[in-house]
Amino acid sequence: MNDTYATYLSFSEVCLQTGVAENVVVEIIEQGIVEPVGASPAEWLFSPAMLIRTKKALRLHRDLEVNWAGIALAIELLSEVEQLREQNRYLERRLSRFVDQ
């Protein structure tokens, strides 16, 4: 395995770290919530960000009883909101250089 994937987790490691059965992680993948690298469960590799996203999906499912399709949409929208906030902060910093003169 090359160094690029050194911090990636296997399918079984994700199941252990999240404390859920394999079929639950498969459902999360099938809904497009995370997209591991690899063609099959034996080859799947998950980045640390995917592990965080998986845990977030599991919390939403457990705490709010949202179905997986709803969770996929919610996580995508939350991601877009965060990207827009970052872009807004960047643009505000750039604008302040001209306004504060």
Q: How many residues does the chain have?
A: 101
> Rounded to the nearest 5°, which phi and psi values hold at 37?
-80, 135
Indicate the pLDDT class of residue 98, thresholds 50, 70 and 90.
confident
Instruction: Report which of residues 30 and 99 the model is more confident about.
Output: 30
> Rounded to the nearest 5°, which phi and psi values hold at 9?
-110, 150
Tens of pLDDT, residues 41-96: 999 999 999 999 999 999 999 999 999 999 999 999 999 999 999 999 999 999 99
**CATH code of domain 3-99:** 1.10.1660.10
Question: Would you list the domain boundaries of the chain?
Answer: 3-99
